[in-house]
Amino acid sequence: MLKNSLYSKPTLGIYIHIPFCKSRCIYCDFISSVDDCNQREKYVQYLCQQIKLASGEYADGYTVDTLYFGGGTPTLLDIAQLKHISKEIFDNFNCSLKEFSIEANPCTVDREKLLALKDIGVTRLSIGVQSFNDGLLKMLGRRHDAKRAEEAIKLAIELGFDVSVDAMIGLPNQTQDDVEDFIDRADKLGVEHISVYMLSVEEGTILKKLIEQGKLIAKSDDELADVYEYACKCLKERGFERYEISNFCKNQKVSHHNLRYWQCLDYLGLGMGAHSFTKGERWRNADDFKVYYDGIDYGNYRHDIQKLSKEDMESEYIMLSFRLQNGIDLSEFSQKFGYDFLSKYSHAIEKNKNYLEISKTSISIKYEYLQLMNSIIVDFL
């Protein structure tokens, strides 16, 4: 028996998925459809219905402490719609929020929208900037240029939001100077959180087709490793601390909501395609509008429910914790699973000892070896 199960935490994070975008960026395979205003209102109605239904199962015993609207492009919804969704959450769940984040595309925010978001209670904006090189932005199919992104960041900071920006690295035609310029400009603008995404070439995307046709040249594995290392170096020089393999911050401005995923804490994902980890179960919502709506009409919206065994939970806990710079908390591990981590995994630790930092209280992957995480972790599973 687990001494202290992973699902006994009384706090909950809620993720809300908004599957609309004005157009599709060439690399993206997220669950999102190109903007259709009629569909949007119907979606909001169903989403609010799902919030009510889910509160029947998940509101009791939990305090919601993080709320995250992601997408897609949640800032495409109008203020009345965003208000409606957040009100439904506040009315149906016991909330004591330490963070309310929303993903924003630079071309969907202006002063009026940001003030209205403040009014709803949003505290943090995660802005999809990707690059400050106009040529690269155009290549990616982004609808904004660098100037527009800078304006959105300045405005958000001026209005008092915590601001995070997304950077994409490893792009065709992207130089190391582009990467350094991104970090430098974000830093000078006062951004305190940067998520760095290594380009992933997904099946079915225009990017994949262009690479296959030889119209864009993908970087080699060595080039990708070099650019990743270079980005980490630039971030470190400017005082950004890496707290997770792809996430960097100053002044402890971590993403509390995303930390829940890596700390194996419960989160409830509502909206099309959203995933949940609640009460020791993983499950997801349908990723098709009709199936999603039908599920809510019939009060049965949970798909692919997977009850995690103690062994599954232990593996997930190890995998996710090693993503964090702080790694595995040894006393938390023994409390949750009833074993001493250092004894149970002594062989894997011995094999990887050059890559690991071991203290009395924790074990983690050394900063310079975090990118080898996948090959290190297999020895622990």
Binder among 71, 106, 269, 280 for ligand SF4 (CB under 6 A): 71
Q: Is 274 in the site for ligand SAM (CB under 6 A)?
A: no
Work out which of 27, 58, 248, 380 binds ligand SAM, going by CB under 6 A. Answer: 27
Instruction: Name the segment binding ligand SF4 (CB under 6 A); options: 65-73, 184-192, 207-215, 372-380.
Output: 65-73
- Total residues at the site for ligand SAM (CB under 6 A)? 16
Distance in angstroms (rounded) separating the CA atoms of residues 203 and 312 = 29
DSSP per-residue codes, 187-241: HHHT--EEEEEE----TT-HHHHHHHTTSS-PPPHHHHHHHHHHHHHHHHHTT-E
Residue with smallest beta-carbon separation from ligand SAM: 128
- Is there binding between residue 258 and ligand SAM (CB under 6 A)? no
Residues 157-196 touching ligand SAM, rule: CB under 6 A, are: 166, 168
Question: How many CB atoms neighbour CB 112 within 10 A?
Answer: 9
Give the residue among 285, 255, 280, 248 at the shortest CA–CA distance from 265: 280
> With binding defined as CB under 6 A, does residue 32 bind ligand SF4?
yes
Residue 24: which of ligand SAM, ligand SF4, none does it interact with, CB under 5 to 8 A by kind? ligand SF4
Q: Which residues contact 201 (CB under 8 A, 6 or more apart)?
A: 27, 207, 208, 211, 218
Q: Which residue has the tokens 């020895």?
A: 379
> 233: which residues sit within 8 A by CB, 6+ positions away?
none
Q: 167 near 195, Cβ under 8 Å? A: yes
Judged by CB under 6 A, does residue 74 bind ligand SF4? no
Residues 86, 105, 131, 364: which binds ligand SF4 (CB under 6 A)?
A: 105
Under the criterion CB under 6 A, does residue 73 sit at the interface with ligand SF4?
yes
Q: How far is the CB of 201 from ligand SAM (least distance, A)?
A: 7
Residue 11 in 3-state DSSP? Answer: strand
Residue 122 burial (CB < 10 Å; 0-12/13-18/19+)?
buried
Q: Which residues make up the interface to ligand SAM (CB under 6 A)?
A: 27-28, 30, 71-73, 103, 105, 128, 130, 166, 168, 197, 199-200, 202
Instruction: Give the binding site for ligand SF4 (CB under 6 A).
Output: 21, 24-25, 28, 30, 32, 71-73, 105, 128
